[in-house]
């Protein structure tokens, strides 16, 4: 399972690479805790501060929780207007002042356990091509975390 004590520079490099490739403002990687259902943000590129490291959401809540619980991608076009639930349930959007986000699941041993999130601080959305690049980056991260 995801262990922060190991060297996860390859995941950070993937995040930085996709950020540069699609010219977005923020890329983050969250992973479900080994014990319990909570999900934490572990890695970010383009972050304003280190608040993302303190964020933990429940399974099924916020972007990370919903992506992991459904196993499917999620897009928010106009935060906080285009959401289900309350803005406070989306702490990564608030902490990073994101308006647009696209998040995809990251599989660990065949189950959605992680999330790769791409965000913009404007409502600039991703093209179909950009979304394919994000899904390809997610696949590369799956190979990294499943290689342990």
Q: Is the pLDDT of residue 6 over 70?
A: no
**Which pLDDT belongs to residue 1?**
47
pTM equals 0.93
Domains and CATH numbers, the chain: 9-146 (3.30.450.40)
List pLDDT tens digits, range 82-103. Answer: 788 899 999 999 999 999 999 9
Distance (Å, whole) CA 41 – CA 48: 14
Distances (CA, A) of 7 to 12, 43, 68, 98: 10, 12, 23, 28
């Amino acid at each position: 399972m995801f262990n922060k004590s190991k060297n996860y520079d390859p995941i950070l490099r993937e995040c930085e690479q996709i950020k540069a490739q699609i010219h977005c403002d923020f890329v983050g990687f969250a992973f479900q805790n080994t014990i319990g259902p909570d999900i934490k943000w572990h890695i970010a590129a383009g972050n304003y501060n280190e608040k993302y490291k303190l964020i933990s959401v429940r399974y099924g809540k916020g972007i990370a929780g919903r992506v992991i619980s459904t196993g499917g991608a999620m897009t928010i076009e106009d935060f906080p207007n285009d959401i289900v639930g309350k803005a406070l349930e989306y702490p990564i959007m608030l902490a990073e002042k994101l308006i647009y986000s696209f998040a995809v699941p990251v599989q660990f041993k065949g189950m959605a356990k992680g999330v790769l999130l791409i965000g913009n601080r404007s409502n600039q959305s991703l093209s179909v091509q950009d979304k394919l690049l994000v899904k390809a980056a997610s696949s590369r991260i799956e190979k990294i975390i499943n290689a342990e």
